[in-house]
Structure 1
Amino acid sequence: MEKVTVEDVSNRPNPMGVHSTRRPVSRALGAEHVALVEYELEPGEEFSGGLHTHHDQEEIFYVQEGTATFEVGEDREHVTVEAGQVIRFPPGEFQNGHNHSDEPVRALAVGAPGARHNWSDIESLAPCGECGEETSHDVRPPDEDGVMQLVCRECGTEMF
């Protein structure tokens, strides 16, 4: 049995600088089969660094305070999730959540199976400077400086 107080979990923001508060609760608990992360998003911040999917993991977001807006699917449908509401993304569904409001958002994200990213199963949609359009990209884990890398699946161009 492990027990922690969420506020005492070390803050580990996304290396892309897209949010200021991210507490990996499952890591603090030593969980191996589920990921649990608390986010606090200030206005203009987002959960991740862009539209992405986990091919090996489903994700659930429970908005505890505020209002989050998610871009869903390659057509980027906007779905609003308010305090007390929950949204689920199955493996393979593209999504990205934002705080477009003037108030902070506090939310819990749950991912399963697995408590850690399998980086080869993450795919991001991003503009490629070489291809001249939005393409599918592989996501490489952060390097020693915390920089993640995207690699275009069409042409192999690496972006930081």
Structure 2
Amino acid sequence: MERVTTDDIETEPHPMGVNRERRSISDAIGAEHMSAVHYELEPGEQFSGGLHTHHDQEEAFYIIEGTATFEHGTDGEKTDVEAGEIIRFEPGEFQCGRNESDERVVGLALAAPGSRHNWDDLESFAPCGECGEVTSHGVEEPDEAFVIYCEECGHEMRIA
């Protein structure tokens, strides 16, 4: 058994700078078969680096405080999730959660199986600097930087 408080977990902001208060509960308790991350999002911040899916994990978000807005699918549909509510995304379902309100959002991201996803199974939609369009992008496992590459033309973007 492992027990921690979120205040005792070191903050690890998202490498793309989309949030500042991100705490890996699963790392702190040594979880291997599921992921749990605590977020505190100020207005304009988001849970992840953009519209994406995990082909190898389902993901759920429990909102503790505030209202988070989740874009889902690839057609721009949005759903607000309020404090006390939870939203679930199947493996392969595109989503991105943001704080579009004027108040702080506190939430938990829960994913399984595995405490880490397989980077080969992560896909995002992002603007490609080469194609000039929003295209499907893959992500290489980060060493010193994230490498996001366009599935259409191969153009790579490095994010430190």
TM class by smaller structure: over 0.9
Matches within 5 A, 1:1-150: 1-144=1-144, 147-150=145-148
Q: Counterparts of 1:141 and 1:106 in 2: how far apart (Å)? A: 27
Q: Deviations over 1:57-104 (max 9, x none)?
A: 000000000000010000020100000110000000000000011100
Q: Counterparts of 1:40 and 1:148 in 2: how far apart (Å)? A: 23
- Could you tell me whether the CA contact under 8 Å between 1:138 and 1:151 is conserved in 2? yes
Greater shift, 31-40 or 147-156, is seen at 147-156
Task: Choose the corresponding residue for 1:159, options 119, 133, 157.
Answer: 157
- Could you tell me whether the CA contact under 8 Å between 1:64 and 1:83 is conserved in 2? yes
Counterpart AA for 1:104? R
User: How far is the alpha carbon of 1:141 from its aligned partner?
Assistant: 2.8
Q: Deviations over 1:106-154 (max 9, x none)?
A: 001100000012111000101112112111110123332xx31210111
Counterpart AA for 1:75? D
Runs of 4+ in structure 1 over 6 Å off: none
Q: Counterparts of 1:26 and 1:6 in 2: how far apart (Å)? A: 11
Counterpart AA for 2:80? T
Give the share of equivalent positions with the same residue, in percent. 65
Q: Counterparts of 1:143 and 1:89 in 2: how far apart (Å)? A: 28
User: How far is the alpha carbon of 1:47 from its aligned partner?
Assistant: 0.4
Aligned length: 158
Q: Counterparts of 2:43 and 2:89 in 1: how far apart (Å)? A: 23
Q: Counterparts of 2:34 and 2:59 in 1: how far apart (Å)? A: 10
Normalising to structure 1: TM-score of the pair?
0.96
- 5+ long unaligned stretches in structure 1: none
